[in-house]
Structure 1
Amino acid sequence: MCGMLLGMHDGASPAPLQRQLKLNVSVDATQAWKNELQWSKASSQQRYELTTQLHSDGRLYAQNLLDPDLDKRSRIKSEFYTYQGLLELKRENGGRLPSGNALMPEISAESLKAGGSCLPGVDCPSASPQRFSAIAALQDNTPAQIEQFMKSFEAPGGKWLYFTGFAGCRNQLRLNYTAHFAGEQAFDHARKKLQPFEMDWVANTEGSAEEKASLCRRYTITLDTGSGTMYVENAYLPSPRGTSTRKTGRGLDRRESDLPPPYELMRWVGDTLSKNRPSGSQEAVLKLTQPLDGNSTVLGLFDGTAKVRLSWSFAEPAQR
């Protein structure tokens, strides 16, 4: 178990922390499409307002769980999740860890049921990858090595707080989306006859209970307490559930659909938040070369721009 991840707490157990992440994103986009004689023009206005809570164990760790070096990040995460799994097993087994050849019999019946002979999230949804990593570590290392590994997380000198989502968090979503597409397309490819079409997308939603429950688990954030720098992993914007209405010479097609944010917007938000201050705002004009409607099967050339604005904050939740 090489390269142990070091952490810190100052004698007493650290106090858990809670923070609130707020994101506001606005989009004003236009795009043209051309494929031989086929063509269309599109415009879209979108707004995403997202608030969710994350919590931390309050411990200061020595390395960044979201280190920009992906190989290093993978190692740090692996060690951290092993440590979490060991704590989980210890809590479930009377404050001690199973060890040696008697590892499996010493794990409680509850632990075995949750993580003994199944795949996490598949045939035993209560089992966690952390638990499986911990069991593997216990099988491959001596009790002394395991104890040293766990103690290393309490060594002084850390500066990183780790924040993760949690089930049942308080959150809010407000999503507004309009888009209009119009042009001519050869819907009958055999005859190659152009037909005019129009399509409108509309969504105005505060999210379903399922979407809000999913949002609680979406974000992982680390905070450098020395510099105040925030790192965000895989910034997420939901696709609002709305209505798609398409009109062609063959009639009107109306259906419920998930309306995707532009690919370039998602990439820009992710890049902006991957390393930044805990609060701020930024504006940009993005070149749109991927289809606004998400349909790449029509091929051809897509050319457009999106004026985008992002504001964010990551701070203690307001007292109620």
Structure 2
Amino acid sequence: MNTSVSTATRPAWHSSAIGGLLFGLACLGSDVALAAPVDRTLEIKLTVQGHQDWVNELQWSKATTRQSYEFSIPLRSNGRLEGANILEQDRDLRLAIKTEFLRRQGLERLKASGLDPDSPQLQQDISKSMQQEIFDCKGDSVCMAETHGKYASILAAALEPDNSALFEGEPRYRFFFGYDGCPTTIRAAHDTQVEGETGYGRKKDKIYPFALSMKGESTGSAEDLSTLCLSYTSVFDTKESKLFVENVDVPNARGTITRTEFGETSNRDDQELPVPGVVLEWVNATLREAPPSGQAQTKLPLYLPLDGNSTVLGQFTGEVDARLQWAWK
């Protein structure tokens, strides 16, 4: 498919606590404006077209799929140029840079929180304060994500050693995050059709017609739009004009799944219709480090069923043609 760190000995609970909270980085942003904010929009278009055959003794099926996804994610930077890349390709170095970024943000938040940084029970004070704020969110997913991001940085400031030397490089990287209320757009369409025969009984020798249809179009609910925006973190290298994107989240289309098996037909509405896993892996590998705008195309094998049910036995063969376009505006 296409595409020296200072550390200190820490207790096991310490490392796992920080690791568990690093997911809040995308919700963290920067609440200390050190320069004029910079807004950009990441636009992505993905089309998927493929076919798949399945054989398991007397059982068989043939499938086709056509999928398209167009979405735009507004992202915001505080405008500051940093000397290190939080999406550095080396995994260990990336984790160290992220942790130091959280620690620096946390120092500011710790000062503003009213918590005593010299308290002998600082960790417990932070945990208690976080639990109260999460409770006050009353189940709101955006509020809870932002709260986790806030306290990830505060916890890093309280527990992590000073690793600020990591940021002493040439200021060239601008960090971009999703933000609450960003005007995200989604257009997703999915059409997968499967026909064949399946067997019933211990020997699977009683054969019945089988059909599966997964079809739908959607533009995303308010929660889908907000969640998609907040899930994105990007870095732009102003020196080499490179874009780094972490964990590309392709929004699933929603629609109806109709299954006919053993003489009975069932319908399920408003279901998420899956994107093939191999396609998601390829998209992530392509945009992990890329020019600010571009396109890519590949053909990928389909060894797993298109409905995502990995428990089905037998042999799956097929191929999907995936085409990707992106633009950083």
Bin for the TM-score computed over the shorter chain: 0.7 to 0.9
Shift of the 50–189 alpha-carbon distance from structure 1 to 2, 3 Å rule, reads farther
Q: In the alignment, which residue of structure 2 is the partner of 1:270? A: 284
Q: In the alignment, which residue of structure 2 is the partner of 1:281? A: 295
Q: In the alignment, which residue of structure 2 is the partner of 1:115? A: 130
The one-letter amino acid paired with 1:46 is: Q
Q: In the alignment, which residue of structure 1 is the partner of 2:264? A: 251
Q: In the alignment, which residue of structure 1 is the partner of 2:223? A: 210
* 1:82 aligns to 2:103 (yes or no): yes
* 1:41 aligns to 2:55 (yes or no): no
> C-alpha displacement at 1:167, in angstroms?
1.5
Distance (Å, rounded) in 2 between the aligned partners of 1:286 and 1:308: 8
The percentage of counterpart residues that share the same residue type is: 35
Distance (Å, rounded) in 2 between the aligned partners of 1:92 and 1:137: 12
Shift of the 228–191 alpha-carbon distance from structure 1 to 2, 3 Å rule, reads closer
Which protein is bigger by CA-based radius of gyration?
Answer: 1
Report Cα offsets for 1:130-172 as digits up to 9, x if no partner: 535534644677xxx7xx95xx798683111111111111011
Higher helix share: 2
The one-letter amino acid paired with 1:128 is: H
Equivalent residue of 1:298, what SS? coil
Distance (Å, rounded) in 1 between the aligned partners of 2:108 and 2:152: 12
Equivalent residue of 2:93, what SS? helix
The one-letter amino acid paired with 2:56 is: N
Distance (Å, rounded) in 2 between the aligned partners of 1:46 and 1:140: 45
Q: In the alignment, which residue of structure 1 is the partner of 2:190? A: 177
> C-alpha displacement at 1:127, in angstroms?
3.6
Distance (Å, rounded) in 2 between the aligned partners of 1:139 and 1:286: 44
* 1:82–1:131 contact (8 Å) kept in structure 2: no
Shift of the 177–191 alpha-carbon distance from structure 1 to 2, 3 Å rule, reads closer
Shift of the 187–65 alpha-carbon distance from structure 1 to 2, 3 Å rule, reads farther
* 2:241–2:291 contact (8 Å) kept in structure 1: yes
Report Cα offsets for 1:18-56 as digits up to 9, x if no partner: 110111111111010111221100001100011111111
TM-score by length of 1: 0.81
> C-alpha displacement at 1:231, in angstroms?
0.8
Q: In the alignment, which residue of structure 1 is the partner of 2:80? A: 59
> C-alpha displacement at 1:202, in angstroms?
0.8
CA root-mean-square deviation: 3.2
Report Cα offsets for 1:287-315 as digits up to 9, x if no partner: 21121111111121111111111100112
> C-alpha displacement at 1:122, in angstroms?
11
How many pairs were matched up?
294
> C-alpha displacement at 1:91, in angstroms?
3.6
Distance (Å, rounded) in 1 between the aligned partners of 2:138 and 2:99: 21
Distance (Å, rounded) in 1 between the aligned partners of 2:147 and 2:128: 9
Distance (Å, rounded) in 1 between the aligned partners of 2:261 and 2:57: 20
* 1:81–1:130 contact (8 Å) kept in structure 2: no
Report Cα offsets for 1:79-137 as digits up to 9, x if no partner: 111112222233444xxx84434785xx9xxx886437898999994643553553464
Distance (Å, rounded) in 2 between the aligned partners of 1:13 and 1:221: 19
TM-score by length of 2: 0.79
Q: In the alignment, which residue of structure 1 is the partner of 2:151? A: 131
Equivalent residue of 2:226, what SS? helix
Q: In the alignment, which residue of structure 1 is the partner of 2:254? A: 241
Superposed counterparts of 1:98-109, under 5 Å: 98-101=116-119
Distance (Å, rounded) in 1 between the aligned partners of 2:132 and 2:189: 45
> C-alpha displacement at 1:213, in angstroms?
1.5
> C-alpha displacement at 1:282, in angstroms?
1.1
Q: In the alignment, which residue of structure 1 is the partner of 2:235? A: 222
Equivalent residue of 2:214, what SS? strand
Superposed counterparts of 1:143-154, under 5 Å: 149=164
Out of 207, 215, 221, the residue aligned to residue 194 of structure 1 is 207
Gaps of 5+ in 2: 8-32
Shift of the 83–249 alpha-carbon distance from structure 1 to 2, 3 Å rule, reads same
